[in-house]
Structure formats: C-alpha cells, structure tokens
Structure 1
C-alpha cells in the first residue's frame, strides 16, 4: 500500500510504503506557538520538571531507521555523522527516504528551536542522534525476501551503532522473522554496553504477528499506550512486550525543513522509551546498561491486576521522572535484568514472562498485571481528556509489514484506569536497597481542544 505525505511549508510528497516501520499514521500540521501544548505526552511525563535534572546531555542515541534529515530546525545541531546501509537508496544517512527516522529523532532529541522556541520538543533534548539508515525492504518481491533484506542490513547496523559509542539503540522497524546474525549483533551490542529498544508492532487489532527484533532476547520490546493508560488497539501484545510508553496522538518534528507531524504507533512509544533511558543515563553516567534498564523497571508504572507483568504493557509504563527523583539501588552492573537472555541460553522455546531481576528485593512488592491493558501508575489526566485538532492533510505515513492470515489470539481484557489521584509509588520493590520514591506530584491538566479520531490504516504492502 502506498500513500503520500503532505508536509506543511513546501508540501513535499513522499512515498510511504515500507516494511516494518512501526509508526502507523502521520498528518502534517502547521507549526505555531501552541506546538508544545499539543505534545501531551511531555506534560503527562512532566518533561519540563525532569529537564531541570537531566536533558539527556552526553548520551548518543542511535536511530536505526530510514535516515534522519538534519535540516529540520528542531533537530539542528542534534544529528551526528552516522552510516548508510541503504544501498538501494540515493543519498546517505542524512537523507530520509520515508520521513520516519526523522520523526523518531524528533521525539527523542527535538529542541523546539523552530520559531524562537515554539517548535516541537523531544523527551531528551540534550541527547544526540546517530543516524543509521536501513534499506527500503518493504518493496521486496515477497515477505521472505523482505525479511532477508531487513535482517541482513540490521545486523551490521546494530554492530556499527555499538562500535560508534551509542549508549541507546532505537529500532522502530520490524520484520516477521528474526535471524541468528541479528541475535548475535544484539549480544555484541549488549557486551559493548548499549541498550536496545524496539517496537513490538502495530497489528494488535489484526493478526498480532510476533515481530523482530522486539522479540529477540536482549532487546526491550516496547508497546504503546494512549492517554487513557490502556494499550492502544493497534499495539501488539504477547510475551515479547517488556514495557510501554505513550504512542497515541503524538506531535513531533519530522520530514524536512520545518516539518511537523501527528503520528501514532509503537514506533513513537519506542522513541520515548529510548529517550527515557537517555535521561537516566545522563544523570548517572557511570551506570552500566544493565543498571539503567533495571532502574527503569524498578520505577515503572506497573499493571493493575496483581501480577508482575502482563502481555499488554509488559512490566508497565516507563516513568523516567521517578527514576531521576529516587532511583534506588541500580543493582549488579553485569547482570541483564530481563529474563529473556537467560531463557534463550537455556534454550527456552519462548520468551519468559517471569519477573525481571531487581537485585535483592522481594518479588512480592512488584507490580500488578496479567490481562490488563491499562495502568494508572504513570500519570492521571484531570478534566476533559481530548485530543488536539491538528490542521493538515491526514495521511498514512508508514505501513506495518505483512501479517499472517491466521486469526490472532484474544487480546488481553481492557480495564478502566483508576480515577484521579496522586502520583503513586513505583510498583517494583520498595524495601531496601530500593527505596520508595519521593512524594506524589499533582498531574498536569490537559491543554487541547476537540478530539479528532485516527483513521483505520490499510493493509501492509504485501497483505
């Protein structure tokens, strides 16, 4: 399926069919003084409060994607020299052939510099972006060929990012099959001290096909939640889900020049998880990748139904503010906190759903979970919860790759979020050496107007 993206200021059309890009829809929207107000996820996560402590300065985030365009004013000075693995495309890693990679960079490191500071911000505006461009595998003759092209480029891309010094590796693309080379590259990157985040995919309301590299051991699989704290309908679910982040009605820098887009999907959620890691790592530069991830898990907003994790949001919704306020003991430097690496080493047939390693604390103090699509522990939105009406042509910006024709398993049951209340304590261990975080903070009120629903997306390019 192909669509075109109309960008404001220049109205540039771009082809938008690509294998495995996990950002589902984008609409061009004019930049104006209220751009920051439209970025509800920054208010909900209390970004400006966090920026008083950390902006992600000193942390490089690799964006393995479609390229990153450094001409966007909100990304000026944020984009490093990277590497181009897209031998099928003209230009280099600074040429974004879909606009998707630039959008991920905007969500992570946008500075809001456009129009004197009225542009779009990323969650970690002090971080830098290492662009690593992959080929356009969505135009392959069939799914198997697309998977081959994707994985053959992804493996060296991951190795390059780790060798280039990226602390965080963001992969908002996917294929329906993994590969031994990618698995080895992930292990290599972990050994080099990097953290890897990948979107779990956007066919949760369709085939819910397991996607890679999110399901690869050692990669943190990220799901998307909406303003109501529930898993979005499109966000895939299963044992590959490790955590969740906002991924609905997102506004961020994208495309080229003064591009601004409205998007949704697990791509966006992955970018925010990566940015969260950058914020924490910048504050604690001597921590290892394992310690940063462990603190993210220990301060996460866990599920609400009494278990350690569920298939909808994993161990919960990422909360970098709590991690910055009172992270507790980061635990062992050399022990990966999620169970999938150990399970893979033991030739486990499927990703484990057991608790992550949290050091010495008791598992009885952990989370709430299975079959819950929501979590009230990240933020509570007060008043009218409505999406902002964003001006611009509604487009399908990217398309998720082919799904299987088999019927998906039943989605985890929805639960309504708890009513408004104080910002709660983290769901993971709170007894020594994992102290309770600071006092509750009042959640922000919503800035916005009437809601505008997202369209239903069409089938993938091979479906």
Structure 2
C-alpha cells in the first residue's frame, strides 16, 4: 500500500519541518511553493536557498516534494519546509555553535519537526557538547521533535556522532525496502527508530537524470515527514504523544525493544493514520533517542586517537541513473501489515 492511501487522511498540512542542512534549492518544480524563507548560519553565508552540495535539497524533496513536473514525490507533500542552512565552520566547535543557533531559529519560526540529516563525526569537548545539548533541551521544552541520523559508519568504527548521540534527539537508523538493516547504518543505544534509507530516488548532481541514493540521511527525512503526517492529523497532540505512537506502532525487532539496530522499530505511520493504533499519553519514558533508564548517555564508540574528520552528510555514493521516481514514500513506510520484521545482515 502506497502513501497515497495515507494522504487521504493527512498530507502534513499545517506543519513546518525545518531542514538543517546545506540549504534548499526552492526552484525545483517539486519544491516550488513548498519552501519558506529561512536563514543561512553557515561560516560563509550565501543564502538559505543556495545549495551547492545538493544534500539539503534532496532531504527537502524526500520530505515535501509534490511530484510536480515529474519531480520527486515526497512523504508529506502538505508540509512547509523551512530551510536553515548550517554547513561547517573552520573548526568543529563552530559547527556546534551553528547548530545551536539553527535550532533556536527553527523554534522561533514555529517548526514542530526539525530534520538533521548530518552528523559530527569527531570528538567534541564538554563545552561544545553542552551547546548541542542546550539546543536539544530547548527543542524538548518547546514541544517539538528533532530527528537526527545516526550515521553510516557501521562498517568502519561505528562511531556515535553528534547530535544523535545526545539525550533529546530521536536517532534514526536505516533499513532497506524489505526491512533488512542497512549494513552501513551505525548501531548502538542512540538508535530510537528506523526507516527506509536505501534505493531512494534523487536528482543526480553530475549532469541530470535520476539516481538511487542510500543513507541514514534519507531514513531521517522519512521519519521527520512521518511525524509531520501524524501531527497534522492530530494537531493537539504533544511531541511526546507523537513520538510515543510512532514507537508503539513501529514494526518490532524479534529480539525485543529497544534494539541497537532499529531502536523501537521500523516506522509505520499508516498504523496511526489509517488504523487508529497507538495510545497517546501525556508523557513517555522513551522521549529521547538514547536515554537509558537512568537518563545517562552511553560511552563514545570512537577511539580517542582517531584524527578528526569533517562533519558528514549521511548519504552513501549514488548508484547509476534510474527512471523518474513515482514516489519516495515506499510501501514499507505506509504499510499497515504487522508481519514486517527486520532481517539482520
């Protein structure tokens, strides 16, 4: 069952999703009239709609693409995207400051969902971690949700990057369309949910056409869009209630929850929107992506001697050009079936 069935109930209308990324090119046909005027917080600002990398535009299309003129059909075509451009500064601490400013700006502009499909893959000092934590705390207090990709480093050092490894972020892992955990998807106690992150259609950056892309970036964007669909259908729900039903209705791993690979399961917004499943409660103990029963963060997984690397957009290399996409919202996202189970690689 495709997302068009869910759109009869909700398209995400009335919800603003802030995309903290490389900028969003609002001139794409599928993003025209979808992008709100935002702000560029990057080290050398050129404007929030200038995207020389293409990553932020891709995430915006996955979230809110309308499919106009044969373009990408996103998961929540009724939402408005707020482009909040981040980028990197001359050192990693500057990026922590940029993220803090960007989070605060997104809240000020009324974003209920914040999408962060990037991660800092280098150790941070306590001061810089506090900046990120302050931003996450303000998001939680403002009754908003931030979904952050956990990273694509499972096949290397499996480092838990920032901010997905801090309390308050909803860490998102990747699975393929069959529910198999992506081999690249970073795992650990920071994982809260999983979503499809392989074979996602996108614009090729090397001369046009369509490419299939993979990464926890895309999984994060799909999770953010799914939250927007639910919130649009239930505008009086709190952030805790939205997150709670997403976790309750997710396809559970066979080994019980939470799983270090898919957290509380693979998201299934159709269970909420079409079947009315999920019990909304005023509070939930699983509010943050990586909070344990004591609310403490697990140890870092990166060796302290490793040389720092630049902050990374969470996508893997593109595959060969593909035919024009029909829609990003795949059946695994919208399914109401209770039989979907992850298959471990």
Please say whether Structure 1 and Structure 2 have the same fold, judged by a TM-score greater than 0.5.
yes
Cα offset, 1:231, TM superposition? 1.2
Match of 2:68 among 105, 110, 113: 113
User: Counting strand residues as a fraction of each chain, which structure ranks higher?
Assistant: 2
Residues 103 and 255 in structure 1, CA contact (< 8 A), matched pair in contact too: no
Equivalent position of 2:304 in the other structure: none
Q: How does 1:99-138 map to 2 (within 5 A)?
A: 99-114=54-69, 118-137=70-89
Cα displacement (A) at 1:229: 1.1
Aligned to 2:315: none
Work out whether 1:390 is the aligned partner of 2:304: no
RMSD: 2.7
Residue aligning to 2:326: none
State the alpha-carbon separation in 1 of the partners of residues 336 and 82 from structure 2: 38
Cα pair 2:11 2:77 within 8 Å, conserved: yes
Shift of 1:190: 1.2
Cα distance in 2, alignment partners of residues 342 and 234 from structure 1: 23
Displacement of 1:128 after TM fit? 0.6
Offset at residue 277 of structure 1 (A)? 0.1
Please tell me whether the aligned partners of residues 240 and 287 of structure 2 are also in contact (alpha carbons under 8 angstroms): no
Residue of 127, 135, 152 corresponding to 1:202: 152
Q: CA deviation at 1:310?
A: 1.2
Classify the secondary structure of the residue corresponding to 1:227: coil
* 1:318 maps onto 2:267 in alignment: yes
**In structure 1, C-alpha distance between the alignment counterparts of 2:65 and 2:11, rounded to whole Å:** 11
Query: 1:172 is matched with which residue: 117, 120, 128?
Result: 117
Tell me, in whole angstroms, the C-alpha distance in 1 between the residues paired with 2:207 and 2:228: 25
Shift in CA distance, 259/193, structure 1 to aligned 2, threshold 3 Å: farther
Partner residue, 1:402: none
**166, 176, 181: which one pairs with 1:226?**
176
Between structure 1 and structure 2, the one with the greater Rg is 1
What runs of 5+ residues in structure 1 fail to find an aligned partner?
1-42, 352-387, 393-420, 428-463
User: For residue 101 of structure 2, what is the aligned residue in structure 1?
Assistant: 156
Q: TM-score with structure 2 length normalisation? A: 0.82
Q: CA deviation at 1:101?
A: 0.2
1:97 aligns with 52
State the match for 1:239 in structure 2: 189
Q: Give the Cα separation in 1 of the matches to 2:285 and 2:30.
A: 35
2:337 is aligned to 423
- Correspondence for 1:348: 296
1:57 to 7, 10, 13: 13
1:288/1:240 CA distance change after superposition, 3 Å: same
Correspondence for 2:219 among 269, 274, 285: 269
For the residues of structure 1 that align with 2:204 and 2:33, how far apart are their CA atoms? 15
TM-superposed CA distance for 1:148, in Å, is: 1.4
Counterpart CA distance in 1 for 2:266 and 2:289 is 19
Structure 1: distance between partners of 2:29 and 2:205: 11
1:252/1:323 Cα in 2 relative to 1: closer, same or farther (>3 Å)?
A: farther
Report SS of the residue matched to 1:245.
Answer: strand
> Within 2, Cα distance between the matches of 1:78 and 1:173?
22
Distance 1:259 1:183, change over 3 A: farther
Q: Deviations over 1:194-240 (max 9, x none)?
A: 10000000011111111111111010000000123111111101111
Paired residue secondary structure (1:81): strand
Residues 372-424 of structure 1, C-alpha deviation per residue, up to 9 Å, x if partnerless?
xxxxxxxxxxxxxxxx97349xxxxxxxxxxxxxxxxxxxxxxxxxxxx9921
Query: SS of 2:119's equivalent?
Result: coil
Structure 2 unaligned residues grouped into runs of 5+: 300-318, 324-334
1:329 to 274, 279, 290: 279
Q: 1:82 is matched with which residue?
A: 38
Structure 1 residues 256 and 294, CA gap change in structure 2 (3 angstroms) = farther
